[in-house]
Structure 1
């Protein structure tokens, strides 16, 4: 049994991705689990893949929005930068978690030319380097420094 997407719904895949993340968040820590399950490398690799896909999406959205609505485009570009910072921290956390292989420290080092135990298509390091190349072409080092916010709303 499948439900059809209404013809006016232009973003069904984005809604499905969001629903998938909500479901995974609930399923990751069942209420009766004792203790809660810590993150593992596979979860962080998949989360990093999701963040980098979202980076590409936000980049296009900002570029398309900026000509007609410059202020909104700048805000989207700022979101893009903050999301990159989150992806960087996920990448760092990935390398701090223990590896499933016996090599230990060697497996946790960042070697894009090698394939860790993750998905065979693209490693987290290769994905991170590719995303970093795009981010650094569009932002300055000042933009990439840690951000603190003082929301006035």
Structure 2
């Protein structure tokens, strides 16, 4: 399937997501200059959402590229695995951060108001779904090895 759109217009949702990530990064940087607060669970949940969505996109791109271009498909599959490792690290960090003070009515979690359940379950459900995909396509040793042996003409 060939796109007839100019390259800049071919993936509007991906461009919008990239813009959102840049905005979030700049917002965090300016906030860090004015306060001493560190990362919180909300930021890690949003980041995990981005990582798992990008994980799905890389999976689709790797599958599409593999038959006609095996080497490119291999590189995309490797990126897919590394992105899973990043999502797993963010998920682990999420659970290591302290839970926000839930004594006030504004910050209290009301699972009945959220159709997908409380946020702590949402990140875990998302992570389990992404984990199911990656485990069907890779071995445990692939998931635990660092990036190795991949070169491109621009890195040689």
Q: By the TM > 0.5 criterion, same fold?
A: yes
Task: Return the offset for 1:32.
Answer: 7.8
Task: Return the offset for 1:80.
Answer: 0.2
Coordinate RMSD, CA, aligned: 2.8
Unaligned runs of 5+ in 2: 104-115
Q: Give the 3 Å change call, closer, same or farther, for CA 129–143 of structure 1 in structure 2.
A: same
Determine the structure 2 residue equivalent to 1:127: 126
Determine the structure 2 residue equivalent to 1:108: none
Distance 2:40 2:146 in 1: 27
Q: Is the 8 A contact 2:75 2:150 kept in 1?
A: no
Distance 1:42 1:28 in 2: 12
Task: Return the offset for 1:100.
Answer: 1.8
Query: Which stretch has the larger CA shift, 37-46 or 79-88?
Result: 37-46
Q: What SS does structure 1 have at the residue aligned with 2:61?
A: helix
Residues 1-153 of structure 1 mapped to structure 2, 5 A cutoff: 7-8=5-6, 9-30=9-30, 33-101=33-101, 115-116=117-118, 118=119, 123-149=122-148, 153=155
Q: Deviation digits for residues 68-112 of structure 1, max 9, x if unmatched?
A: 100000000000000000000000000000002569xxxxxxxxx
Unaligned runs of 5+ in 1: 1-6, 104-113
Task: Return the offset for 1:142.
Answer: 1.4
Task: Return the offset for 1:33.
Answer: 2.3
